[in-house]
Amino acid sequence: MNGVGSVRELERETEKESILHLMDGRVKLILLIFIIVYAVFSTQIVVLAFLELYLLLLIYISHVSFKSSFKRILLLLPFGGFIIAFQPFIHPGDVIWTGIFGLQVTQQGLMWAVLLMSRLIVALTSIVLLSSISPMQEVAQSFRKLGMPRELAMIFSLMIRFLFMFYDELHRIMHAQKARCFDAFNKKIPYKWRMKQLGYTVAMMFLRAYEQGETIYMSMVSRGFSDQSNFYQDRKKKLGTTEYVYIGVTVLLVVCLQVLAMTHFYELGVLGMNII
């Protein structure tokens, strides 16, 4: 799956129709951030397992493809996974395995790694779910409605608009190269030359972005843009029953999990143990 394809695929997911898709963007954004924050502060694996199950249920309700969601989670996992992979070896505790060069795995280190991995999976599932049920423009609107600083909000909105345009631009350049038989992986052609062509492509993208930036600024100025300019905000949408139900269910789940974590989960052994 290349970059262009994945962006378009993600867009198609956001165009599906479900209760979650139709919900107010602010509610989706706040609740998923709420889940991420709660997951980060949780120290019991069982709590994270319940949160993950809840997120999977939401993915099911929103008709988002499980396959593409898992694929995206797997693609993102290595970024945090790399740090987690070291934890069993560097965390002090009871040694459970000794390998070559004196490498030792501790039980506490292993449990810490599992906890971190669980947190990471919950956080990534939340992000994948949010990006699958909310078009990027809706996320930008929600951030603005929630009081994101004007300059940041404008940069964010511009980025969303031109991300797609530059993907199209890149696609066109790649097409033009393919039409003249260019293949970056063709081993019959010198490696250095192929790298040079890829370098030209990136340079061309920067140049076009720069030129486009100049013209866009002119067109914005033409419509009265100044340092005081604001983006329009849709004020018509008000929270409905589904939004309140979603907020209620999520908050209730977190409260129940927290109560159980403090009173009963320790009985579950390793899964319910507090890992610090």
The residue from 98, 186, 230, 241 that contacts other proteins (CB under 8 A) is 230
165 binds other proteins (CB under 8 A): yes
Instruction: Map residues 231-260 to x or -, x wherever contact with other proteins holds by CB under 8 A.
Output: xx-xx-------------------------
Choose among 26, 23, 54: nearest CA to 38: 54
Q: Which is nearer to other proteins, 18 or 212 (CB)?
A: 212
The residue from 157, 177, 201, 242 that contacts other proteins (CB under 8 A) is 157
Helix (H) or strand (E) holding 95: strand 95-98
CA distances in angstroms from 209 to 40, 50, 92, 121, 157, listed in the order given: 38, 45, 50, 35, 16
Nearest approach in angstroms of CB 75 to other proteins is 23
Question: Please, are residues 16 and 63 in contact by the beta-carbon 8 Å criterion?
Answer: yes
Helix (H) or strand (E) holding 78: helix 66-84
Q: Which is nearer to other proteins, 15 or 267 (CB)?
A: 15
170 binds other proteins (CB under 8 A): no
224 binds other proteins (CB under 8 A): yes
**Three-state DSSP class for residue 64:** coil
CA distances in angstroms from 276 to 39, 48, 125, 237, 273, listed in the order given: 14, 15, 23, 43, 10
Segment interacting with other proteins, rule: CB under 8 A, options 124-132, 181-189, 227-235, 253-261: 227-235
The residue from 98, 186, 226, 263 that contacts other proteins (CB under 8 A) is 226
The tally of CA atoms less than 13 A away on the side-chain side of residue 260 is 17
130 binds other proteins (CB under 8 A): no
The residue from 223, 238, 241, 276 that contacts other proteins (CB under 8 A) is 223
Q: How many helices (H) and strands (E) does the chain have?
A: 11, 2
Choose among 232, 221, 215, 234: nearest CA to 154: 232
148 binds other proteins (CB under 8 A): no
Nearest approach in angstroms of CB 257 to other proteins is 35
Residue numbers at the binding site for other proteins (CB under 8 A)? 135-137, 140-141, 157-158, 160-162, 164-165, 168, 212, 215-216, 218-226, 229-232, 234-235
